Amino acid sequence: MGESAMIKLDALGKRFHGPSGLVTALDDVSLEIAEGEIFGVIGRSGAGKSTLLRAINLLERPDQGRVFVGGVDLTGLRSDALRLERRRVGMIFQHFNLLARRSVYDNVALPLELAGLTRREIRDRVRPLLELVELADKADQVPAKLSGGQKQRVGIARALAAEPRILLSDEATSALDPQTTRSILGLLKDINQRLGLTIVLITHEMSVVREICDRVAVMDAGRIVELGSTFDVLTRPTHPLAREIARGLEPELKLDHLFGERFSEVPVLGGTTLLRIAFSGPHAEAPVISDLVRRFNVDLNILSGTIDHIQDRPYGVMKVELAGSVEPVVAHLKSLELGVEVLGYVRSALRTAL
Amino acid sequence: MSEALLEQLFDSLTDTLLMVGTASLVALLLGTGLGVVLFATTERGLWRQPAVSRGLGAVVNATRSTPFIILMVAIIPFTRLIAGTSIGTGAAIVPLAVAAVPFFARLVEAALREVDRGLIEAAQAMGATPRQILWKVLLPEALPSLARGLTLTIISLIGYSAMAGAVGGGGLGDLGIRYGYQRFNPTVMLAVVAVLIILVQLVQSLGDFAARRLQKK
Ligand SMILES: Nc1ncnc2c1ncn2[C@@H]1O[C@H](COP(=O)(O)OP(=O)(O)O)[C@@H](O)[C@H]1O
Ligand SMILES: [Mg+2]
């Protein structure tokens, strides 16, 4: 990146006076986002995601640090120059923020009116945008008549009207149902590929990140605690919060419910071991399980298993109960670059009965 | 009802409409401006001017908390300055307008406050200037509320104008007091009340209709 960074955030700091004292919303955040990238920011509510996003077009001016967009230091601009730069950064919102008294057409036209284009120029821009978001037939409707997904499509068309290089998305799918979310994310991906638009989106849902992001930053208490490709962060999270968020995508398996009294946090004599195996990397698609059984003469009972594709790469997670010697199995799996984790132990049913 | 009475009723109605109409027009022009300033100069406003905001707020509150009948007397010198006299229909317009401007301004301020902050933010993200935000976003989005506010202002003015009438301003209030109260003529009194009721109803219905039309766009 370096030279070609579309967005460069340099040591941003921001504090707010909240009801219970000072709140640090941004704590020394530095970040570079490349042109054409779809970059996700994920974190819990209050982590500072919106503040970070709003710093990019200086809707929220940081107390410290500098913001570069397309090589221009926005933090150093006078307000009129800043307004011109903002036209090059589109933004969409969780609650759409459409003008209730303007038609769909006039909503999309607004940024162009503000920029002083003629009616004719505006029409030539708005029509194809409405086609792009498949709302040409709704041009004369008011937003109240539209569904949530349609409203967000209007929001997207409006954000694209001034032909920005960057699109900022603040929880744009959080008010939508899963199916509509997928179609909106599909549209964003499409726009990213067709127009080469750089997209920064913030969300609290890992599924959104998994769906379209190239890279992701995990935020906690105003800091970026993990940053990497979506595949790496999802399959090999290092920070506890990143791990918690990534695991949130897996089907929940309540081990203590499944095994009741027999479940144990510590090893038990003559019991079995519960393992979580993450399949990624070069051996993700190898027939690992049958190989294990043959090679180490162990018994494997599969408790749950999922196979997913993240950024078009296969990624599977399996939870198994293993009877037999554990150490060689774990060592072997690690040598295959698979993720292995001991989840707990189970006393043998026979012993408990005695 | 005699023809003379009808004629008087008609003249008084004309006076009332003149007073209320002119004062409403002044309130619409100056009150909108004042309301925008009150809205925009607050701590989190588009043109942050806390001192201006506090100063104007205090003046507006003072005017609004003075009973109209007292306000009318208190500003007689000002009325003379503007109208050249302190008696008559023309002169009554001055205190009516003075009362109506801050009244409507507060309603304008409230209507602008009702506009979703997210819309202001969206406009700022588009690179809108404060002036553009006002004309392209705030005022158009607030239009239904503004219509309701104006309706309320006009109706309040009809009431105030009857008071103004009682102290020499002419109009329906004057007629009602002179004939109905001082000369014990209940017919006139009832006729005045009926006309006032119809007038208020008419304004309310028109206002509701306008607000509904604007809401739907
Ligand atoms: N305008 C503001 N005034 C006071 N506190 C704020 C303001 N904006 C954000 N905060 C605080 O800053 C922290 C980060 O907020 P935000 O960036 O909105 O988080 P997120 O988008 O991750 O939920 C929160 O504690 C929030 O309460
Ligand atoms: Mg947020």
Contacts of A106 in chain B (CB under 8 A): none
Contacts of A97 in chain B (CB under 8 A): 116, 118-119, 121-122
Chain centroid to CA A354: how far?
50
CB-based contacts of B129: which residues, under 8 Å, 6+ apart?
A83
**A292 close to A329: Cβ distance less than 8 angstroms:** yes
* A162 contact B CB<8A: yes
Strand partners of residue B130: none
State which H helix or E strand residue B143 sits in: helix B139-164
Does ligand 1 come within 6 angstroms of the Cβ of A45? yes
**A315 close to A237: Cβ distance less than 8 angstroms:** no
DSSP state of A283: G
Q: How far apart are CA A9 and CA A12, in angstroms?
A: 7
pLDDT at A210 (0 to 100): 92
- What amino acid is encoded at A178 in this protein? P
Mark B166-199 as b/e (b = at least 16 C-beta within 10 Å): bbebbbbbbbbbbbbeeeeeeebbebbeebbeeb
Contacts of A105 in chain B (CB under 8 A): none
**A225 close to A242: Cβ distance less than 8 angstroms:** yes
Question: Nearest residue on chain B to A112, judged by CA atoms?
Answer: B126
DSSP state of A225: E
Q: How far apart are CA A94 and CA B31, in angstroms?
A: 35
CA A157 to ligand 2 center in whole angstroms: 22
DSSP string covering B2-18: -HHHHHHHHHHHHHHHH
- Tell me which CATH homologous superfamily contains domain A255-346: ACT domain (3.30.70.260)
Which CATH architecture group holds A5-247? Answer: 3-Layer(aba) Sandwich (3.40)
* A289 contact B CB<8A: no
CA A54 to ligand 1 center in whole angstroms: 11
Angle at A18 between CA A15 and CA A24, to 5 degrees: 25
pLDDT at A40 (0 to 100): 98
Of A85, A89, A142, the CB nearest to B217: A142
Does ligand 1 come within 6 angstroms of the Cβ of A50? yes
Let me know if the fold of A5-247 is the same as that of A255-346. no
For B129, other C-beta atoms within 10 Å of its C-beta total 16
**A283 close to A350: Cβ distance less than 8 angstroms:** no
A50, A60, A171: residue to mutate for ligand 1 pocket, most atoms within 8 A of CB: A50
Q: What is the ipTM of this complex?
A: 0.88
pLDDT at B165 (0 to 100): 75
**A200 close to A168: Cβ distance less than 8 angstroms:** yes
pLDDT at B96 (0 to 100): 95
CA A336 to ligand 1 center in whole angstroms: 44
Q: Is the pLDDT of residue B105 over 70?
A: yes
Contacts of B137 in chain A (CB under 8 A): 99
Distances (CA, A) of B52 to B34, B115, B189: 11, 22, 46
pLDDT at A3 (0 to 100): 53
Nearest to residue A301, comparing CAs of A286, A325, A271, A322? A322
Nearest CA, atom 26, ligand 1 = A46
Ranges A140-144, A184-188, A251-255, A276-280: which has the least confidence:
A251-255
Does ligand 1 come within 6 angstroms of the Cβ of A18? yes
- B126/A111 touch (CB, cutoff 8 Å), yes or no: yes
Beta strand A21-34 with A5-18 is: antiparallel
Tell me the two tokens of residue B91: 């002169």
Q: Is the pLDDT of residue B18 over 90?
A: yes
Tell me the two tokens of residue A132: 């792009």
Give the ligand 1 atom nearest the CA of A43.
22
Q: How far apart are CA B102 and CA B32, in angstroms?
A: 9
- B121/A113 touch (CB, cutoff 8 Å), yes or no: no
Question: Nearest residue on chain A to B126, judged by CA atoms?
Answer: A87
Q: Which residue has the tokens 């964003």?
A: A188
In this predicted model, which residue has the larger pLDDT, B129 or B165?
B129
- B127/A114 touch (CB, cutoff 8 Å), yes or no: yes
Question: Nearest residue on chain A to B140, judged by CA atoms?
Answer: A101
**B99 close to B68: Cβ distance less than 8 angstroms:** yes
Average pLDDT over residues B30-54: 93
pLDDT at A2 (0 to 100): 46
Q: Where are the domains of chain A?
A: 5-247, 255-346
Phi then psi for residue A62, to 5 deg, are: -65, 155
Mark B24-45 as b/e (b = at least 16 C-beta within 10 Å): bebbbebbbebbbbbbbbbeeb
Average pLDDT over residues A104-118: 97
- B140/A84 touch (CB, cutoff 8 Å), yes or no: no
Distances (CA, A) of A214 to A33, A224, A279, B167: 11, 17, 20, 77
pLDDT at A42 (0 to 100): 97
Does ligand 1 come within 6 angstroms of the Cβ of A23? yes
CA A167 to ligand 1 center in whole angstroms: 21
Each residue's pLDDT tens digit, A42-98 = 999 999 999 999 999 999 999 999 999 999 999 999 999 999 999 999 999 999 999
Q: Is the pLDDT of residue A272 over 50?
A: yes
CA B131 to ligand 1 center in whole angstroms: 28
Nearest CA, atom 27, ligand 1 = A46
- B119/A102 touch (CB, cutoff 8 Å), yes or no: no
Q: Is the pLDDT of residue A143 over 60?
A: yes
Q: How confident is the model at residue A353 (pLDDT cuts 50, 70, 90)?
A: very low
Q: Is the pLDDT of residue B1 over 70?
A: no
Tell me the two tokens of residue A344: 């707990």
* SS3 annotation, A139-166: CCCCHHHCCHHHHHHHHHHHHHHCCCCE
State which H helix or E strand residue A10 sits in: strand A5-18
- What amino acid is encoded at A276 in this protein? R
Q: How far is A32 from chain B (nearest CA, A)?
A: 21
Indicate the Cα dihedral angle B59, B65, B68, B74, nearest 10°: -50
Q: How far apart are CA B29 and CA A331, in angstroms?
A: 82
Give the ligand 1 atom nearest the CA of A170.
21
Q: Which residue has the tokens 């040591």?
A: A11
* A142 contact B CB<8A: yes
Q: How far is A306 from chain B (nearest CA, A)?
A: 40
Does ligand 1 come within 6 angstroms of the Cβ of A47? yes
pLDDT at A66 (0 to 100): 97
Q: How confident is the model at residue A350 (pLDDT cuts 50, 70, 90)?
A: low
Average pLDDT over residues A85-112: 97
pTM over cut 0.90: no
* A95 contact B CB<8A: yes
A23, A26, A41, A224: residue to mutate for ligand 1 pocket, most atoms within 8 A of CB: A23
Give the ligand 1 atom nearest the CA of A53.
17
CB-based contacts of A261: which residues, under 8 Å, 6+ apart?
A347, A352
